[in-house]
Amino acid sequence: MESTVARCEKLKKEFPASGGRPPLVVFEDISFEVRRGEFLVLLGPGQCGKTTLLNIIVGHDSPTSGIAYENEKPVTGTNPSRGMVYQDTRLFPWLTVQKNVEYGPAARGEDRETYRKRTQEYIDLVGLTGFEKHYPVKLSGGMKQRVGIARAYCNQPNIILMDEPFGALDAQTRYMMQEELGKLWQAKHNTILFVTNNIEEALFLADRIIVFSKCPSHIKAEYTIDLPRPRKLTSPDFLDLRREITGQIDVDL
C-alpha cells in the first residue's frame, strides 16, 4: 500500500463577516491525500481557495474546521519538512543564487560541506550552472523560479507545495519551465502538490489531478493520468482528457 505524506480531512475555510458583508465560505468538505513520490495537481478556477488550501497544509494558516496532516500528525505551524514554491519566488534580493538555495540547511546548522554539495547538485539540475554568484536582480523570471525550485529541493522536505509557480511567466518560458520541472521530478521523485488553473499544465505534469469547483469550492472530480512522459500536448489521448476536464470546469462558468 502506498504511504501517505499529507492528508486533508473535511477542511473548511470561512472568513468572518466584515463591512456589512456576510461570512465568506471559501471551501468546505475538502478531503484528499498526497501519496509519497507522486505529482498531484489541484486544478480549479481563480478565487476558489487553492492558495488558501496550500497555506493551511504548509502551516501558514488554519482551517475553520477539519484537519490537515503531514505523516499523520496534525499541521500546527510551519516546518522545514514542508517546502513551498510561490508564484512571486520570494528570493532574498541581498543573497546570491547559491546563498538563496542553501539558505535553509545553512540556517539549520547542517554540515557546510554536505549542504554545499547538495546546493550545487540542485543548481546544476535546474540549469543554473555558472550563475551561482549572481543576485536575483540580474535574473529573468524563469531563472528566479529555477532558484526557488532548487531552494525548495535543497531543503529536502517530505513534500513540496507549489502555488502556480509559472503563472506570471510568458507562454514560452512557462512551457520550458514545465518541461524542466517534469525532468527534475522524474530524476528525484519528490512528493509534489501543485496548484494551477491551467488544464494543459495540469495534464502535462500530473500523476493525478483533483478538480475543484468555483467558490465556495468543493472537489468535483479526480483523474489518474497514465499518459507516458514526456507528454505531447497534441497527442489524441492528451486532447481527449483535456476535453473531458474542460467539460467539468465549464459547468461552473
Q: Which cell numbers hold the place of 147?
A: 532558484
| Pairing label, strands 39-43, 208-212 | parallel
What is the C-alpha separation between 75 and 115, in angstroms, rounded? 27
Please report the pLDDT score of residue 21 as a whole number. 82
CB 192 within 8 A of CB 39: yes
> Of 147 and 45, which is predicted with more confidence?
147
What is the C-alpha separation between 175 and 164, in angstroms, rounded? 13
Q: Cell 456576510 belongs to which residue?
A: 22
Which residue type sits at 110? E
pTM, to two decimals: 0.94
What is the C-alpha separation between 54 and 75, in angstroms, rounded? 12
Q: Which cell numbers hold the place of 240?
A: 481527449
As a whole number, the mean pLDDT across the chain is: 94
Please report the pLDDT score of residue 253 as a whole number. 46
Nearest of 111, 110, 91, 109 to residue 101 by alpha carbon? 91
Nearest of 6, 31, 3 to residue 157 by alpha carbon? 6
Local structure of residue 195 (DSSP, 8 states):
E
- What the chain holds in terms of domains, given with CATH numbers, is 36-81+158-253 (3.40.50.300), 91-156 (no CATH)
Would you say how long the chain is, in residues? 253
Q: Is 71 left (phi over 0), alpha (psi -120 to 50) or beta?
A: left
Q: Which cell numbers hold the place of 93?
A: 534580493
What is the C-alpha separation between 162 and 88, in angstroms, rounded? 11
Q: Which cell numbers hold the place of 49?
A: 481557495
Please report the pLDDT score of residue 250 as a whole number. 61
Rg (CA), the chain: 18
- Structure confidence by residue, pLDDT tens digits, 236-250: 999 999 999 998 876
The CA-CA-CA angle for residues 164, 169, 173, to 5°, reads 115
User: If you average pLDDT over residues 195-214, what whole number do you get?
Assistant: 95
CA atoms within 13 A on the CB side of 21: 8
- Structure confidence by residue, pLDDT tens digits, 110-156: 999 999 999 999 999 999 999 999 999 999 999 999 999 999 999 99
